[in-house]
């Protein structure tokens, strides 16, 4: 009996590590077992080697994603070179996203001294764009790079349409109050419908989804995308270069389906081609990439660090260059700090400074609560009767709303375009090509046969159809610090099971309508885990610190309760799941945060 029990435990632990990381093999929240046994507490930067900067900034913006980029452009217009943008990742100029070889493995993010749970055993320092994490109950992918999530997002600019998503939100950010800011952000990002008629750009899967939606009481719509097709109403030839309204050269979209792995043609309107470009080149904002913020300390009237201060006299911000020794910090003074490091980054910074370093002790006890995976879910259909064109066009081109008027039965299904299977397999195969001379001599003949087999695959075949979904999950996750001072997440998939089961039923109906030979939800769901690329919440907006972390008042939107001049502007502000791709909402909220700071109403003329 004991032997059978041990065998079941071994199988369970192995399945967990293979499908979803470490969650089932560890009792510690979000931490692998070896990390639980051998904790390495976070060092206090104040005990490191410090270099105090002589420069004082009007604003230090932490992160360059949708919130950071918007606030950087708006604040630098007001404060000029008094704005500093701090980004942990590196820049990605045209053609720099990896597609094969060793660069493919280096496209992932990992720091040698970090204690982030990951499902893959990366070693050493890797400053790549893909930050893949495996917390308790939730696997997730976020971005690291100058431009944040815009570097690897699908470019879908989607207005949240569900009539119930914002029922419990503060009045200041309900849908009617957001419309103006939606429009401004859409115009800056160049959001438009995908050209599909008379241009050689017809997308055949749209008709398949339209027919399936009609058969399943779904509301079909095409999606706006932030992608360059040329300046005119008619699209330019694929690959033709033009200059965008902010002075950056971009190619017309090639429909290569590589949006989510980084566009090497600068056809996708990522933030480094608009908001960030203007902040840096027009208004002379200072940019520090591959730099991390660990510590924020308020200053008193004498300019000295004082944890009892409330931000009236500014802050010291401790910056760590990720390419130098870990105990060396540059300390800069900032009149105001805007945290735009994403749901995980901004929440972790505030948690550490409240609970670990004790420099921001008055941050609301609601910090870390209300986490949501935005109802992200994925279903697959295998061997449909005919090609659906999944290797042609931008990543997301349509959405089908399925709502029964309840939060746990409301979601939008989207298509998903991806590079051909043969291309993906070849990227992976080349990345894992034997490097050791002896191993290479022994294995290379077999390796060449495998590679040849991959290349014989029909590059335009569609062995599977991927159906993405975003919905209104329970938004009841909890982020906190573990006993080593590292971010931990607790997500219970079963709490949102009614939503996920509804998504699976609808996807099954679509598969049957298309004549697919089989299908499945994302495999890790079978062991009670979810996967998200849209983590939200943790620093939610509200009207009082007893119910939220940040202020929902329009004049102080995003300001951390109990502190002056300390703001949050990213997806962590959202009080609950959005049920739509969140780029538009985050960008619009950031426009409102910036307006509250500068007093200037935004327009698309950056």
State yes or no: pLDDT of 17 exceeds 80: no
With cut-offs at 50, 70 and 90, classify the pLDDT of residue 6: very low
**pLDDT score, position 429:** 57
- In the numeric block, which tokens belong to residue 468? 């993405």
Average pLDDT over residues 515-538: 93
Average pLDDT over residues 216-243: 93
State yes or no: pLDDT of 600 exceeds 80: yes
**pLDDT score, position 8:** 40
Based on DSSP, count helices (H) and strands (E) in the chain, helices before strands.
12, 29
**pLDDT score, position 382:** 84
Average pLDDT over residues 418-446: 59
State yes or no: pLDDT of 23 exceeds 90: no
Q: 501 Cβ partners below 8 Å, 6+ apart?
A: none
Average pLDDT over residues 461-490: 92
- Cα angle value 557/342/333 (rounded, 5°): 70
With cut-offs at 50, 70 and 90, classify the pLDDT of residue 233: confident
What the chain holds in terms of domains, given with CATH numbers, is: 45-93+119-420+460-598 (3.50.50.60)
- The model's pTM: 0.89
Task: For 14-129, list the strands marked E by DSSP.
Answer: 49-57, 59-62, 83-86, 109-110, 126-127
Out of 70-74, 459-463, 573-577, least confident range: 459-463
Higher-confidence residue of 455 and 109: namely: 109
Contact 390, 461 (CB under 8 A): no
Enumerate the H helices of 60-194 as residue ranges: 66-79, 102-105, 175-188
Give the number of residues written for the chain.
606
- In the numeric block, which tokens belong to residue 571? 């997806």
Query: What string of H, E and C letters represents the secondary structure of 490-527?
Result: ECCHHHHHHHHHHHHHHHHHHHHHHCCCEEEECHHHHH
Token look-up 């097709």 returns 229
Contact 600, 593 (CB under 8 A): no
Average pLDDT over residues 191-220: 91
The CA distance from 366 to 541, in Å, is 10
State yes or no: pLDDT of 187 exceeds 80: yes
Contact 139, 159 (CB under 8 A): no
Contact 42, 356 (CB under 8 A): yes
- In the numeric block, which tokens belong to residue 278? 């203007």
The CA distance from 538 to 350, in Å, is 10
State yes or no: pLDDT of 462 exceeds 60: no
Phi, psi angles (nearest 5°) of residue 550: -125, 155
With cut-offs at 50, 70 and 90, classify the pLDDT of residue 582: very high
State yes or no: pLDDT of 1 exceeds 50: no
- Residue 573 falls in which region: left (phi positive, over 0), alpha (psi -120 to 50) or beta: alpha
With cut-offs at 50, 70 and 90, classify the pLDDT of residue 291: very high
State yes or no: pLDDT of 272 exceeds 90: yes
- In the numeric block, which tokens belong to residue 189? 């990002």
The CA distance from 78 to 349, in Å, is 26
**pLDDT score, position 25:** 32
pLDDT in tens, 92-147: 999 999 887 667 778 999 988 888 999 877 777 889 999 999 999 999 999 999 99
With cut-offs at 50, 70 and 90, classify the pLDDT of residue 461: low
State yes or no: pLDDT of 207 exceeds 70: yes
Cα dihedral 86, 347, 557, 574 sign: positive
Average pLDDT over residues 570-598: 98
Contact 46, 247 (CB under 8 A): no
**pLDDT score, position 457:** 47
- In the numeric block, which tokens belong to residue 107? 């496209």
Pairing mode of beta strands 286-288, 249-251: unpaired
Out of 74-88, 288-302, 451-465, least confident range: 451-465
The CA distance from 295 to 313, in Å, is 17
Average pLDDT over residues 300-322: 97
Give me the sheet containing 530-532, strands edge to edge. 130-135, 138-143, 530-532
State yes or no: pLDDT of 3 exceeds 50: no
State yes or no: pLDDT of 431 exceeds 70: no
- Share above pLDDT 70 across residues of the chain, in percent, rounded to a whole number: 84
**pLDDT score, position 4:** 44
The CA distance from 289 to 96, in Å, is 16
The CA distance from 69 to 583, in Å, is 12
- In the numeric block, which tokens belong to residue 276? 């960030």
CA distances from 263 to 190, 237, 257, 546, 603 (A): 16, 17, 9, 43, 27
**pLDDT score, position 19:** 43
The CA distance from 120 to 122, in Å, is 6
Helix (H, G, I), strand (E, B) or coil at 446: helix
The CA distance from 82 to 57, in Å, is 5
The CA distance from 521 to 501, in Å, is 10
Average pLDDT over residues 47-52: 90
Contact 363, 350 (CB under 8 A): yes
Contact 604, 188 (CB under 8 A): yes
Out of 55-69, 402-416, 460-474, 539-553, least confident range: 460-474
Q: What would the DSSP string read from start to end of 543-558?
A: SSTTT-SEE-SGGGTT
Average pLDDT over residues 530-540: 97
**pLDDT score, position 417:** 92
Average pLDDT, the chain: 88
pLDDT in tens, 388-415: 778 899 999 999 999 988 888 999 999 9
Most confident range (mean pLDDT) of 234-243, 400-409, 563-572 is: 563-572
Average pLDDT over residues 429-444: 56
**pLDDT score, position 443:** 57
């Amino acid at each position: 009996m004991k032997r059978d029990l041990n065998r079941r435990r071994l199988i369970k632990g192995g399945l967990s590590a293979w499908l979803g990381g470490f969650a089932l093999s560890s009792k510690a929240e979000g931490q692998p077992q070896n990390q639980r046994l051998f904790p390495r507490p976070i060092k206090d930067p104040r005990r490191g080697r410090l270099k105090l900067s002589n420069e004082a900034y009007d604003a230090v913006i932490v992160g360059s994603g949708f919130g950071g980029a918007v606030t950087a452009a708006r604040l630098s217009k007001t404060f000029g070179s008094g704005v500093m943008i701090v980004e942990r990742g590196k820049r990605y100029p045209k053609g720099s996203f990896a597609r094969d070889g060793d660069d493919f493995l280096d496209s992932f993010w990992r720091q040698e001294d970090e204690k982030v749970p990951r499902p893959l055993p990366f070693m050493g320092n890797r400053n790549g764009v893909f930050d893949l994490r495996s917390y308790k109950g939730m696997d997730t992918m976020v971005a690291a790079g100058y431009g944040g999530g815009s570097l690897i997002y699908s470019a879908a600019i989607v207005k949240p349409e569900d009539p119930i998503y914002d029922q419990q939100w503060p009045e200041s950010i309900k849908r009617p109050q957001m419309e103006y800011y939606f429009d401004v952000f859409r115009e800056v990002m160049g959001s438009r419908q995908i050209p599909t008629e008379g241009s050689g750009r017809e997308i055949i899967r749209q008709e398949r989804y339209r027919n399936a939606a009609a058969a399943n009481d779904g509301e079909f719509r095409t999606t706006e995308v932030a992608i360059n097709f040329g300046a005119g109403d008619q699209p330019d030839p694929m690959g033709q270069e033009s200059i965008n309204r902010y002075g950056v050269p971009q190619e017309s979209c090639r429909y290569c389906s590589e949006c989510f792995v980084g566009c090497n043609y600068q056809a996708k309107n990522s933030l480094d081609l608009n908001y960030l470009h203007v902040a840096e080149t027009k208004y002379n904002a200072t940019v520090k990439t591959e730099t991390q913020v660990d510590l924020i300390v308020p200053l008193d009237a004498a300019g000295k660090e004082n944890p009892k201060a409330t931000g009236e006299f500014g802050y010291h911000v401790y910056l760590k260059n990720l390419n130098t020794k870990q105990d060396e910090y540059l300390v800069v003074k900032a009149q105001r700090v805007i945290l735009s490091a994403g749901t995980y980054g901004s929440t972790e910074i505030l948690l550490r400074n409240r609970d670990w370093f004790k420099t921001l002790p008055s941050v609301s006890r609601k910090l870390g609560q209300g986490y949501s995976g935005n109802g992200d879910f994925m279903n697959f259909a295998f061997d449909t009767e005919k090609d659906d064109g999944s290797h042609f066009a931008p990543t997301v081109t349509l959405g089908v709303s399925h709502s029964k008027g309840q939060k746990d039965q409301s979601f939008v299904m989207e298509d998903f375009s991806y590079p051909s299977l043969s291309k993906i397999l070849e990227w992976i195969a080349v990345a894992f090509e034997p490097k050791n001379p002896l191993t290479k001599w022994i294995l290379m003949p077999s390796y060449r046969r495998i590679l040849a087999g991959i290349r014989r695959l029909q590059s335009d075949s569609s062995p599977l159809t991927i159906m993405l979904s975003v919905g209104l999950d329970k938004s009841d996750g909890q982020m906190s610090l573990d006993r080593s001072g590292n971010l931990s997440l607790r997500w219970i998939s079963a709490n949102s099971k009614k939503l996920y089961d509804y998504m699976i039923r609808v996807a099954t109906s679509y598969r049957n309508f298309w004549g697919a030979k089989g299908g499945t939800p994302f495999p890790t769901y079978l062991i009670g885990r979810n996967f998200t690329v849209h983590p939200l919440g943790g620093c939610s907006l509200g009207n009082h610190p007893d119910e939220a972390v940040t202020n929902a008042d329009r004049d102080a939107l995003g300001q951390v309760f109990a502190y002056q001049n300390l703001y949050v502007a990213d997806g962590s502000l959202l009080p609950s799941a959005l049920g739509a791709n969140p780029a538009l909402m985050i960008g619009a909220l950031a426009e409102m945060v910036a307006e509250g700071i500068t007093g200037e109403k935004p327009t698309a003329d950056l």
